[in-house]
Structure 1
């Protein structure tokens, strides 16, 4: 097998392995989510979190260019699944989960930058995370009933991941999240399940916008 063929085979295996490992990880972390959120919502059932984790990990790791990148991408996919399910269950992105996610995701991303000698990419990712966090913080101050501090913190983490790919990914991630949020709000109004002041989880929109942007622009 040539080096090119071996690299292609490894790239094909990574997302499958990522999804397979995310299933038990999501199932186990669902219990943590229920305790932290103090909720027995169906969104926090083991199989739901596991399914979402497997899907996000599959896509994220499929975008990784190396095993170095695969590790932080996988962790982000799994923890994002738990945070999304928490937000859908109780409209909250818990600090205990976020406090664990930041050092682990950014720490493994730093290791990935060292292993693949991509320090400039890491610098851009960290700056993008700060800018994305600041952008959502301004939105939270202007629209306090739509964006919460949990969304702001989650945006910083997602922004770092998008920044790893490029600035265009960051911009489109924000735009797509806003579009998806508007569509959801409009659907709620049309179905007469809400109005202009109806609150709904925004964390899933941030994640969906990021994943769509990453896949679309890769």
Structure 2
């Protein structure tokens, strides 16, 4: 499990450097890449996102995004990022309240930091990142059903799909204006 987390974290941190170059903005994304790699592996294996990682990620992500804002990068992006994190947190909380079995509280807490890193880029990035997470989750579920590795009653962790959707958008945002 540790090796998988290190590999995924390293790939995402490298993708952050590729996307943002050597800039203040790359630092929060490198850190979020490391966190994402660890959370993807933990959730895929244990079907839970630990509070010890998701809760501190919220203020740490906000603080790390303040660095580029103070350095003059991302005109108005910090306020948008914090608003986006709040919006995504509330949207996922509403989904959890509607269907607690369908979306866990770990996913809700993860939505806050994920919303911030997507919101720093733009509002459309937030929307696409959130939607892509659900699309990826549906495709993963269909693949597991087709391979008979899951049934319609199986619990499939959502965190890896959430983060995959976010990272597709983060990386693609360099080529596609969002």
TM-score (norm 2): 0.90
Query: Which consecutive unaligned segments of at least 5 residues does structure 1 have?
Result: 1-43
For structure 1, which segment, 140-149 or 158-167, has the greater mean C-alpha deviation from structure 2 after superposition?
A: 140-149
User: What per-residue deviation string (whole Å, max 9, x for no partner) do you get for residues 146-169 of structure 1?
Assistant: 210100111111110000110111
Distance in 2 of aligned mates of 1:117 and 1:192: 48
Return structure 1 stretches of 4+ with deviation > 6 angstroms.
none
For the pair shown, the structure with the greater C-alpha radius of gyration is 1
Query: Which consecutive unaligned segments of at least 5 residues does structure 2 have?
Result: none
Contact 1:177–1:209, Cα closer than 8 Å, also in 2: yes
Which of 1 and 2 has higher RCO (CA within 8 Å, sep 6+)? 2
User: What per-residue deviation string (whole Å, max 9, x for no partner) do you get for residues 44-64 of structure 1?
Assistant: 22x211101111111123222
For structure 1, which segment, 52-61 or 117-126, has the greater mean C-alpha deviation from structure 2 after superposition?
A: 117-126
**Could you say what the CA RMSD is over the residues aligned between the two structures, in angstroms?**
1.6
Match of 2:44 in 1: 88
Select which of 60, 68, 75 maps to 1:104.
60
Match of 2:120 in 1: 164
Select which of 141, 144, 147 maps to 1:191.
147
- Structure with higher helix content: 1
Deviation at 1:117, TM superposition (A): 5.1
Q: SS state of the match for residue 20, structure 2?
A: coil
The answer to whether structure 1 residue 205 and structure 2 residue 161 are counterparts is yes
The answer to whether structure 1 residue 148 and structure 2 residue 94 are counterparts is no
Select which of 12, 20, 30 maps to 1:74.
30
Distance in 2 of aligned mates of 1:71 and 1:118: 13
Match of 1:37 in 2: none
Q: SS state of the match for residue 68, structure 1?
A: coil
TM-score (norm 1): 0.75
Aligned residues: 174
Contact 2:55–2:109, Cα closer than 8 Å, also in 1: no
Match of 2:173 in 1: 217
